[in-house]
Structure 1
Amino acid sequence: MSPRMRWALHPLALGVSFLLSAFHTWPLVSQMKGYVLGGREDVYMNMWHLWWMRQSVWVQPQNPFYAPLLHWPLGAELYWHTLSPAKTLWGVVLLPWIPVETAYNVVMFGAFVLTGYTSWLLLRYLLERAGHGPWLAAAAALAGACVFNFSRYHLAHASAHLNLSALEGLPLYLYFFFRWLDEGKRRWLVGLAVSALYVLLCDYYYLVYIALFSLLWVVAERWKRGPLLALDTWKDPLMRRAAVAGLAAGLACVPPIVPLLLHAFPAPLQIHHGDSDYFTDLYAFFIPDTRSAWMTSLPETARAFAMDVVRTKMATNAEESGTFLGWVTPLLAVFALWRGVPEGRRWLGLGLGFAVLSMGTVLNVGLEDRLSPVVLLFFIGLVVALVPSWRERVWRRDVVLFLALAVWLSWSEPLTAFGQPLKVQIPMPYVVFKHVVPLFSRGGMPVRFILLTFLSLSVLVAFAAAHAGALASRRDARLGVAVALAVALVPNVEYRGLAMLMPEVPRLPPVFEEIRQAPMPVAVLTDNVLGQWEQIFHGKPVSFARLSRLPVREQGLVDSRLIRAAEGMRSAFTPVTAEERAEMRRFLKEHHFRWYVTHYFHPVRHRFIEEELGGELVHRDGYVTVYRFP
């Protein structure tokens, strides 16, 4: 293939990624204006991020990680928050020309297009490195790219999380990482450092993901060559390049990491997610989530399971349940391993290892975390049987038959304790992992490790497509390319979701024009993230701030009776003393709160605002209720 043809593949790959992204996110491209993808509270927060980045970088240059107009009059710190500067900085460029919801839709759609391209770039390199021809490698890489880009993880998080949907940096980093280890050229080292910084500016935890992946890969590669702690370890060129890669990535990430560390103590409060809230059930790997297109045709028991995962395990956060690996897609990975994949056992081990980490602190099977010890015996037996075959390529049939018999006898005769069936919680590796790896004890989400499982799966599927194409190429090279492309249909069918939710953006009533035109100083008391989003239009300070983690300095303001009442907390509506009433009214007047904007009308709150705070109702409709203070 000529160099010109090789370069022509890049715009072609981008174009295919664009078309497939439009298909999987439909009707996003047809409703860019007036509608917003997902419509969850995080979406309105992210639209505010786009606006705020333009304000702080271009309109009134200031520190973008401190927003004085939120949590008024204190201001809100955005350091340990999902600000995702690599994505929200696009607000500087886009907002002068298009509405904020259109800008958000464009940035989210762009994440899918770019992820498809960068995954294709990585997988094509791995395939060509393994000896596959350029045309076959390009076609087979598309099949693997579809696994990663259109995984249920990516499609599920697109409904709410801009930061977690920004996956394009991970395969780009690995592309430079592998090229640096293989060739040692300076340009690959520079690309590695820049892409690591980009990953950090998309999501903090994704930097930990690629660091962990890189470390495990290098350790496994060194282990294959000899003892890890041998005296000649640092003489190994691989280890030297790996150390230089870590140093380069670390230096590139210093500027954003330093302020994070400076604001890490006292630890911000985890007001939304704990360290092990969300985890994967074993069945959830093979049963589609509630937003999958397969939900309409699944048996009733499978649909009920998927609904229960969201309702009982994910606390209504459906986007965290996108862990479905598929039915045929994993079989393609098995086919690839059977035909042979360079470092295939390593990719398999990494994929399975991260899947195990995604299961959280204790094993859950069928929404049950108290299980018969037989389950533990089964997995121990599986490990005992597989380790010899893994290391020595010898299948111990006698061991397998003995363990199968032991498990069968235990299952047929339930294990008991004091005459009752014994049920135990089976601890998982994450319970130790979160205390060993930095940051994960402060809000790590184990279920999200499934992303790295999808990454490993995408590599194996790419090789499966290449092997299938190579078999067909014996008759005709063009047929081989066609077969490799046909393999891409499998993940596109299995991971396809229902139509994306595209709710209409609220239309603000005329009272907001009155707020916008009011001369400063003026502030707005409000109750939720919609009030923060409305700041885009009226530009006045607001009392609310939607933060991933709450800095300790802001806790006192959030816990004050006035703010709790504004946000509708039931504990705020107990009888009010004369001193409390006077203090709340003084606070409103001193900090220039002229309006209260609430998005939920309730008689108790209405009486509190009028009788205790002296508010006057000036507007009420199906979207918002507005009061004015004297």
Structure 2
Amino acid sequence: MARVWQRRTLIHILAVILYSVLALAATWPLVQNLGTHVPGSDTWAFDEYTFIWNSWWLRYSLFDLGQNPLYSTHTFYPLGISLVLYTYNLFNALISLPLQPFLSLPAISNLTFLFATVLSGYGAFLLAEYLLASGRRDSEEGQREAVQRGSPAVLLAALLAGLIYAFGSYRMVYAAIGHYDMWSTAWIPFYTLYLFKTIHERRMRNAILAGLFLVLSMLAEMIFGVFLGMLTIIVLAFVVGRRGREEVAGGLSSLLGRLVVMGLVAVVLYLPVLVPVVGEMFGGYELAGWGDAEKLSVDLVGLVTPTALHPLGGDWVETLRQTQEGTSRFRDVNTVFLGWAGLALAIVGAVCYRRKVAAWITSFIVFAVFSLGPVLQINGRSIFDLDGLLVNVPLPFIVLHYIPFVKANRVPNRFGVVLMLALAVLAGYGAYWLFAKLSRSKATVGRVILVACTLLLAALVL
């Protein structure tokens, strides 16, 4: 037993090292300019500097001015402005406080980005490992497979899932345009992991940790709370079904108690932010309309088209300039490229384990559809000529516009954060099916390692 634990610990350490090396490689030459430069694009909106300012203002307002950091008199002087609904990225600003006396703000921001990237990968790794190793896996070929958490097939598949989530186009594009709140995705897989543990295990600690990670996610970006609420509803909807109830520890009444604890922990910890947020949202001065919801939607073709940051995706600066001028292929920067290798593995996982991963298939579809925005866009077009009749295709995102709090998100492509998590989990199942197939065959260890490395490389590049 001790040897198994030591082997699993070593694998987890190696996973963190791998994600760390890949984070440095994927962001090169950031590490060479750690204290002087930050990710962003001069041809865009300079949002990156507002997030640097956030960290400075939090410390300055608290320790120098002794005032509420959710209100600034240094902006729109002398009137000032409320920062309650501002993209504060509070978690990153908070962890910068003890570092600011010793490091420059750019260095802190860059270290936070690298930390979030590694932790996003490791969190998705833990989630995929737990899901793959929970009980027995039923493939649709009629086979029943006893799965051990430390088995090579599970660990390799989980490693790939973490890679897809941490290094997918979604996080990297948002980093490149300076939207730091949207790459702060580290706590989302941890919340999801402990949500499933809350369902499958009786320990109340899981519910408490789920509530904690939910709050950390919302401190990074408050709209993540809406997304995780939707994901939770989807997961629990499948738990209510007969097959789902069989996996609930202690029955539905026991689960309800744990969910109440999870909710209470989240509300109590988030209360200092929640109270002013609710007050602002009912202030009666919100902007009417849809904002740029149509423009900031995912194009259907964009889901399978490499972004401009991709080696096969073209020139990044030119793409940004064309987007600003309205001459680009898509109406906005393509943020959600699923990746060909990841999508192929996800399809394999969905087909081979469709009963087991029904909640993840549903999540993938729901968040993909919502990311498409209020009307369907195909290759930059939202109006289609049907034999002289000009029409557009309304999508379910329209319904969200009329739901309080939820309607605050007017950027549909942000749904990509959970879409990529669902993709990563499904791809993990697909990779597990392949590795398990190889392990049952007469394939040598060398062949298995070769296939694993090929899949990891393909998921990273394609």
- Mapping of residues 4-43 of structure 1, within 5 Å: 4-39=6-41, 40-43=45-48
Structure 1 residue 5 displacement after superposition: 2.7
Q: Deviations over 1:49-86 (max 9, x none)?
A: 11112223344443111122222222221101011111
Cα gap change, 1:307 to 1:137, in 2 (>3 Å): farther
* SS of equivalent to 1:332: helix
Q: Aligned to 2:198, which of 164, 167, 180?
A: 180
Q: Could you state the TM-score of these two structures normalised by the residue count of structure 1?
A: 0.64
Residue from 402, 410, 414 that aligns with 1:435: 402
Instruction: Give distance in 2, aligned partners of 1:365 and 1:122.
Output: 33
> Structure 1's 345 and 314: CA in aligned 2 closer, same or farther, altered over 3 A?
farther
Unaligned runs of 5+ in 2: 138-145, 246-250
Partner of 2:341: 328
One-letter code aligned to 1:30 = Q
Summarize the Cα distance change of 1:88–1:12 in structure 2 as closer, same or farther, 3 Å threshold: same
How much does 1:332 deviate?
Answer: 1.3
Return the letter of the residue paired with 1:430: F
State the distance in 1 between where 2:288 and 2:111 align: 30
Deviation at 1:256, TM superposition (A): 1.5
Q: Using the alignment, how far apart are the partners of 2:252 and 2:433 within structure 1?
A: 36
Aligned length: 436
Q: Which residue of 2 aligns with 1:153?
A: 170
**Separation in 1 of the partners of 2:453 and 2:26?**
17
For residues 114 and 402 of structure 2, what CA distance do their matches in structure 1 show? Answer: 36
Q: CA deviation at 1:341?
A: 5.3
Instruction: State whether structure 2 residue 390 is matched by structure 1 residue 423.
Output: yes
Give the structure 2 partner of residue 627 of structure 1.
Answer: none
- Cα shift readout 1:452-510 (whole Å, capped 9, x = no counterpart): 2211110111112212211222335675465344322222012xxxxxxxxxxxxxxxx
Q: Displacement, 1:225?
A: 5.1
Equivalent position of 1:471 in the other structure: 437
Q: CA RMSD for the aligned pairs?
A: 3.1
| Distance (Å, rounded) in 1 between the aligned partners of 2:431 and 2:327 | 36
The question of 1:249 aligning with 2:239 is answered no
Residue number in structure 2 paired with 1:94: 99
The match for 2:423 is 457
**1:270 CA drift (Å):** 8.2
> Is 1:491 equivalent to 2:459 in the alignment?
yes
Structure 2: distance between partners of 1:281 and 1:110: 30
CA contact (8 A) 2:156 2:452 kept: yes
**1:102 CA drift (Å):** 1.6
Report Cα offsets for 1:303-347 as digits up to 9, x if no partner.
Answer: 9999866653999996x5211112232111122233325632331
Bigger CA drift: 309-318 or 20-29?
309-318
Confirm whether residue 282 of structure 1 aligns to residue 300 of structure 2.
yes
Q: 2:378: which partner in 1?
A: 365
Q: Is the 8 A contact 1:180 1:189 kept in 2?
A: yes
Corresponding position of 2:208: 190
Q: Which aligned pairs between 1:222-621 and structure 2 lie closer than 5 A?
A: 222-224=240-242, 236-264=253-281, 265-269=283-287, 273-296=291-314, 311-312=325-326, 320-340=333-353, 343-372=356-385, 416=387, 421-436=388-403, 438-474=404-440, 475=442, 476=444, 480=448, 483-494=451-462
Distance 1:341 1:486 in 2: 25
Matched, 1:132 2:147: yes
Q: Which residue of 2 aligns with 1:613?
A: none
Distance 1:132 1:30, change over 3 A: farther
In structure 2, relative to structure 1, the CA distance for the partners of 1:240 and 1:192 (3 Å cut) is same
Residues 149-192 of structure 1 deviation map (CA, whole Å, 9 limit, x = unaligned): 11111100012111111001100100111011100212111111
Structure ranking higher on relative contact order (CA contacts 8 Å, 6+ apart):
1
Helix, strand or coil at the partner of 2:214: helix
Contact 2:330 2:380 in 1 (8 A): no
Q: Residue 120 in 1 paired to residue 88 in 2?
A: no
Q: Give 1:221 shift.
A: 2.3
Equivalent residues of 1:282, 1:364 under 8 A apart: yes
Alpha-carbon distance between aligned partners in 1 of 2:5 and 2:208, rounded to the nearest angstrom: 23
Matching residue of 1:75: 80
Measure the CA separation in 1 of the matches of 2:252 and 2:131: 26
Q: 1:186 to 1:116 in 2, by over 3 A?
A: same
**What amino acid does structure 2 have at the position aligned with 1:208?**
V
> How far apart in 2 are the matches of 1:60 and 1:17?
40
Q: Secondary structure at the match of 1:56?
A: helix
Structure 1 residue 88 displacement after superposition = 1.2
SS of aligned partner of 2:391: coil
Greater Cα offset, 236-245 or 442-451: 236-245
Distance change in 2, residues 1:352/1:226 (3 Å):
closer
Q: Which amino acid aligns with 1:450?
A: G
Percent identical = 25
> What is the distance in 1 between the residues matched to 2:427 and 2:252?
35
**Cα distance in 1 between the residues matched to 2:123 and 2:338:** 21
The DSSP-based 3-state class of the residue aligned with 1:461 is helix
Q: Which moved more, 1:285-294 or 1:172-181?
A: 285-294
Q: 1:20 to 1:273 in 2, by over 3 A?
A: farther
> C-alpha distance in 2, partners of 1:449/1:222?
25
Q: Is the 8 A contact 1:469 1:479 kept in 2?
A: no
Quick check: 2:290–2:410 contact (8 Å CA) kept in 1?
no
2:182 is matched with 164
CA spacing shift, 1:434–1:293, aligned 2, 3 Å:
same
Q: Is the 8 A contact 1:143 1:489 kept in 2?
A: no
Amino acid at match of 1:35: H
**In structure 1, how many angstroms separate the alpha carbons of the residues matched to 2:289 and 2:73?**
20
Partner letter of residue 126 of structure 2? L
**CA distance in structure 2 between the aligned counterparts of 1:82 and 1:287, rounded to whole angstroms:** 29
Residue 423 of structure 1: SS of its match in structure 2? strand
Tell me: CA distance 1:271–1:15, structure 2 relative to 1, closer, same or farther (3 Å): farther
Give the direction of change, closer, same or farther, for the CA distance of 1:93–1:132 in structure 2 (3 Å limit).
Answer: same
Query: Is residue 331–residue 380 contact of structure 2 (8 Å, CA) maintained in 1?
Result: no
